[in-house]
A and B are shown apart, each in its own frame.
Chain A
Amino acid sequence: MLEYAWLIPVIPFVAFLLIALLPKRTLFWEDGAVYGIAGAFGALALSVIVIWQVLMGETLTVDAPRTTWIIVGDFQIEFGIWIDQLTAIMLLVVSVVGTLVVIYSGGYMHEEGEGRRRYYAEIMLFISVMYGLVISDNYLQMFIFWELVGLCSYLLIGFWYTKPSAASAAKRAFIVTRVGDIMFMAGIIILFKYVGNLDFAQLFSESTAHQVPSDMMTLATALIFGGAIGKSAQFPLHEWLPDAMEGPTTVSALIHAATMVKAGVYLIARSYPLLVQAPDSLLLVAVIGGVTALIAATVALAANDIKRVLAYSTISQLGYMILGLGAGGYLVIHANSPGGYAAATFHLMNHAFFKALLFLCAGSVIHAIGTNDMRLMGGLGRKMRITSTTMLVGAIAIAGIPPFSGFWSKDEVLAAVYHAGEFDPAFFLLWAMGIATAFMTAFYMFRMWFMTFAGEPRSDYHAHESPKIMTVPLMILAGLAMVSGFALFIGEGFKGFMERSIEELVPGTAHETVGDVAVGIFTDPLTYVSLVLAVVGILLAYRMYYVPGFDRSVFAKGFSGKLQRALENRWYISKFYDDFAIRVVYAFSLVADLFDRYVIDGLVNGFAYLGGRGGNVLRRAQDGNVQRYTSLIIVGICLLLILVLYVLPWGGW
């Protein structure tokens, strides 16, 4: 059954073609939403079957059926599928979140009219290529889908392309991630140079380690990670993601929870067999992840746009995943433990559910009152009971309060980072950053929740609860956000499950039973550190944003005021890029312009001028004055005579 997994991306792709090409009157309800939902459900059903089979212990990796795409002489490129535990997790995330987002869109996009057809077509293509990405069995195939994911996110972020901010956000997302894509491509080119093949089956085999010199392996893996930096919005290429909020909220949910940004994390997890051969790259991965988590969390503290808070929280949580993968690599190398890898992928799954939930809740709020600005909200909890309750579930999950999902995976990531500290002390610092991030996450999520739903209305709005087609997906996601953390304890446990996808890397590791995992979590004092910090964060948000009479203006003065303004301006990173673009690129353009005008044109004009002036000088010789001709002839003869009589004999000719 697994060999039919290639049908998973085909089904949404067929839906995309139908929506895009069918005559308008055959699109039925909501201009094609029916085909979208049908396609998403078809892929979901197949994914569930595949996931079930993987859970039963079947995988399809090295011996998967393959088809030849290009033959050039002896060289051929093959396409195939690669189904293992990691693929199963990604399929789960993409299918569940993708399907719920498409259903939710049925209500959310209702007012878009003609644009809905384009919307559903693009979103089905987006889901389709993301499925294609996760089942790819070689880097080239993956890169093609990787670029298609970038293209779809460009199209969807720029859905309202007549709005200049949306058009520029789309361009920014495309161009910034393209910087990462180039690095990714450079990385796989290096691998291709040494191995001559981009199939995972060959790259991940034992022999690859001997074919690629270790410094080249470090470079290649660091470049591949560069692709993830762009796609997963890691520092310093993270600024496109908050701007991507210009698209419809459903698109944000899809990008943040299931597709675009998860592709980068998936890439790192997929490249693990290569990464563990390059500890320097792993350290880079971990440091970038930790720095991103911290920076993004601080910016989220001061954001006033509800979607922007969520966007920065996504960046921060992605930082966690990347940090967990980096630390996990050290654990694989030194401790023969898959703990970090499992923790990061676990967080990837949990985050997909609660972040999709949070975004769709935010979409519901925006749908109801028509603004993103939390300063104009307040008191929505009474009007929108389902949205406010489900969003509270999401906020608790991301803040890391047990027993909701975020607690388990975040704790596992932090524990993995802390243990990696035994092998490189830098990880202790990264762990401290992670803990600080956990505290801030709890604070800003509840700040957002209190500002939106609690207290009194701060503007004149007429809110109403969203229709059922929107609230049902919210409730399903809330349920998942509550229980997905328990995957750690079901059957062989999430760790035992993920361990098998990299079992060649951790041979003979002592398998942790579910009981061990639970005991490990609850006897570790670090668990309580992060838990207490999360609770303190929530209480602080409660004190500052819920209890009336708290004067927040004290923070606007002096150093804290400066800090606040820095945060509101996103640490000036965005400004830096703008300035960079304006000043440096403009200055460069000026120089190029001057070069063109004075050097290139100057050269051309100079030759013309030289010819003109030279002619002016030379024509004096041809002035028709016979006496001057005579003089020149005589001088010439004298010179020739001197040459022939004296110079040439003297030179020895």
Chain B
Amino acid sequence: MIPIEYWLVFSSLLFVIGAYGVMTRRNAIVVLMCIEIMLNAANINLVMFSSYHTVLHGTADPSGQAFALFSIAIAAAEVAVGLAIILSVYRRYQTIDVDKINILRW
């Protein structure tokens, strides 16, 4: 079995990469993709702790996997809504650069 630290480092890396993308990228679609990466980092954690539950406590606990499925479903809905917003923003402004969509800023 892969040691738990590997999973933790892997999911952390994914999360940090996603966070970095959210902070720095200007393209709204890439930002959305980065959010997905962060969500998936969380999903990996949920699944990982779920599978390790048996090893650690001797009993199985599927709630982690259930949460992961739930989260994937929400992510799908979120992507649908997000892409729809980006599409209508693009129609309105002819751009999806988040810095240029600033009509509500001071």
Residues of A within 8 A of B (CB): 619, 622-627, 630-631, 634
Pair B23/A627 contact, Cβ less than 8 Å? yes
| Contact indicator per residue, chain B 89-102, by CB within 8 Å of chain A (1) or not (0) | 00000000011001
**Which of A622, A627, A630 is most buried by chain B, counting CB atoms within 10 A of its CB?**
A627
B79 CB-CB contact with A under 8 Å: no
Pair B99/A630 contact, Cβ less than 8 Å? no
Q: How far is the CA of A625 from the CA of B99 in the complex (A)?
A: 7
A619-B99 contact in complex given A630-B23, A634-B23, C-beta closer than 8 Å: no
- Specify the main secondary structure of chain B where it touches its partner: loop
| Contact indicator per residue, chain B 25-39, by CB within 8 Å of chain A (1) or not (0) | 000000100000000
B104 CB-CB contact with A under 8 Å: yes
Q: Which residues of B contact A626 (CB under 8 A)?
A: 98
Query: Can you report 6 residue pairs joining A to B where beta carbons are below 8 Å apart?
Result: A622-B106, A624-B102, A624-B104, A625-B98, A630-B22, A634-B23
Pair B23/A623 contact, Cβ less than 8 Å? no
Pair A624/B22 contact, Cβ less than 8 Å? no
Closest A residue to B98 by beta carbon equals A627
Measured CB to CB, the closest approach of chain A to B30, in angstroms, equals 11
Q: Which residues of B contact A631 (CB under 8 A)?
A: 23
| Contact indicator per residue, chain B 1-45, by CB within 8 Å of chain A (1) or not (0) | 000000000000000000100111000000100000000000000
Residues of B within 8 A of A (CB): 19, 22-24, 31, 98-99, 102, 104-106
Q: Which residues of B contact A627 (CB under 8 A)?
A: 22-24, 31, 98
Closest A residue to B24 by beta carbon equals A627
Closest B residue to A634 by beta carbon equals B19
Q: How far is the CA of A541 from the CA of B23 in the complex (A)?
A: 106
Pair B24/A625 contact, Cβ less than 8 Å? no
Q: Which residues of A contact B102 (CB under 8 A)?
A: 624-625
Measured CB to CB, the closest approach of chain A to B22, in angstroms, equals 6
Q: How far is the CA of A630 from the CA of B23 in the complex (A)?
A: 6
Q: Sort A-B residue pairs by CB-CB distance and give the 10 closest, nearest first.
A: A624-B105, A631-B23, A627-B23, A630-B23, A630-B22, A634-B19, A623-B105, A624-B104, A624-B106, A627-B98
Closest B residue to A626 by beta carbon equals B98
Q: How far is the CA of A625 from the CA of B23 in the complex (A)?
A: 10
Q: Which residues of A contact B19 (CB under 8 A)?
A: 630, 634
Q: Which residues of B contact A624 (CB under 8 A)?
A: 102, 104-106
Pair A623/B98 contact, Cβ less than 8 Å? no
Q: How far is the CA of A646 from the CA of B19 in the complex (A)?
A: 23
Q: How far is the CA of A618 from the CA of B105 in the complex (A)?
A: 15
Q: Which residues of A contact B23 (CB under 8 A)?
A: 627, 630-631, 634
Q: Which residues of A contact B31 (CB under 8 A)?
A: 627
Q: How far is the CA of A619 from the CA of B106 in the complex (A)?
A: 9
Q: How far is the CA of A412 from the CA of B26 in the complex (A)?
A: 109
Closest A residue to B102 by beta carbon equals A624
Partner of B106, one of A623, A630, A634: A623
Measured CB to CB, the closest approach of chain B to A294, in angstroms, equals 82
Closest B residue to A627 by beta carbon equals B23
Measured CB to CB, the closest approach of chain B to A145, in angstroms, equals 75
A625-B105 contact in complex given A630-B23, A634-B19, C-beta closer than 8 Å: yes
Q: How far is the CA of A623 from the CA of B106 in the complex (A)?
A: 7
Measured CB to CB, the closest approach of chain A to B27, in angstroms, equals 11
Q: How far is the CA of A627 from the CA of B22 in the complex (A)?
A: 7
Q: Which residues of A contact B98 (CB under 8 A)?
A: 625-627
Known: A627-B98, A630-B23, A631-B23. 12 other contacts (CB 8 A): A619-B106, A622-B106, A623-B105, A623-B106, A624-B102, A624-B105, A625-B99, A626-B98, A627-B24, A627-B31, A634-B19, A634-B23
Q: How far is the CA of A624 from the CA of B103 in the complex (A)?
A: 10
Q: Which residues of B contact A634 (CB under 8 A)?
A: 19, 23
Q: How far is the CA of A625 from the CA of B98 in the complex (A)?
A: 8
Q: How far is the CA of A623 from the CA of B105 in the complex (A)?
A: 6
Q: How far is the CA of A257 from the CA of B48 in the complex (A)?
A: 116
Q: How far is the CA of A630 from the CA of B38 in the complex (A)?
A: 13
Q: How far is the CA of A195 from the CA of B19 in the complex (A)?
A: 86
Closest A residue to B26 by beta carbon equals A627
Closest A residue to B31 by beta carbon equals A627
Q: How far is the CA of A263 from the CA of B19 in the complex (A)?
A: 94
Q: How far is the CA of A625 from the CA of B102 in the complex (A)?
A: 8
Q: How far is the CA of A623 from the CA of B102 in the complex (A)?
A: 10
Closest B residue to A622 by beta carbon equals B106
Q: Which residues of A contact B24 (CB under 8 A)?
A: 627
Q: How far is the CA of A619 from the CA of B98 in the complex (A)?
A: 19
Q: How far is the CA of A546 from the CA of B23 in the complex (A)?
A: 109
Closest B residue to A632 by beta carbon equals B23
Measured CB to CB, the closest approach of chain B to A627, in angstroms, equals 5
Closest B residue to A635 by beta carbon equals B23
Q: Which residues of A contact B104 (CB under 8 A)?
A: 624
Q: How far is the CA of A624 from the CA of B104 in the complex (A)?
A: 8
Q: Which residues of B contact A622 (CB under 8 A)?
A: 106
Measured CB to CB, the closest approach of chain B to A179, in angstroms, equals 63
Q: How far is the CA of A252 from the CA of B79 in the complex (A)?
A: 106
Closest B residue to A619 by beta carbon equals B106
Q: How far is the CA of A623 from the CA of B99 in the complex (A)?
A: 11
Measured CB to CB, the closest approach of chain A to B15, in angstroms, equals 10
Measured CB to CB, the closest approach of chain B to A147, in angstroms, equals 68
Q: How far is the CA of A627 from the CA of B98 in the complex (A)?
A: 9
Q: How far is the CA of A623 from the CA of B104 in the complex (A)?
A: 10
Q: Which residues of B contact A619 (CB under 8 A)?
A: 106
Q: Which residues of B contact A625 (CB under 8 A)?
A: 98-99, 102, 105
Q: How far is the CA of A631 from the CA of B105 in the complex (A)?
A: 17
Measured CB to CB, the closest approach of chain B to A396, in angstroms, equals 97
Measured CB to CB, the closest approach of chain B to A633, in angstroms, equals 10
Q: Which residues of A contact B99 (CB under 8 A)?
A: 625
Q: How far is the CA of A624 from the CA of B98 in the complex (A)?
A: 11
Measured CB to CB, the closest approach of chain A to B67, in angstroms, equals 21
Q: How far is the CA of A502 from the CA of B69 in the complex (A)?
A: 118
Q: How far is the CA of A631 from the CA of B98 in the complex (A)?
A: 15
Q: How far is the CA of A397 from the CA of B31 in the complex (A)?
A: 114
Measured CB to CB, the closest approach of chain A to B92, in angstroms, equals 17
Q: How far is the CA of A571 from the CA of B98 in the complex (A)?
A: 86
Q: How far is the CA of A625 from the CA of B24 in the complex (A)?
A: 11
Q: Which residues of A contact B105 (CB under 8 A)?
A: 623-625
Measured CB to CB, the closest approach of chain A to B7, in angstroms, equals 20
Q: How far is the CA of A624 from the CA of B22 in the complex (A)?
A: 15
Measured CB to CB, the closest approach of chain A to B98, in angstroms, equals 6
Q: How far is the CA of A252 from the CA of B69 in the complex (A)?
A: 114
Measured CB to CB, the closest approach of chain B to A113, in angstroms, equals 78
Measured CB to CB, the closest approach of chain B to A622, in angstroms, equals 8
Closest A residue to B22 by beta carbon equals A630
Q: Which residues of A contact B22 (CB under 8 A)?
A: 627, 630
Measured CB to CB, the closest approach of chain A to B81, in angstroms, equals 16
Measured CB to CB, the closest approach of chain B to A638, in angstroms, equals 10
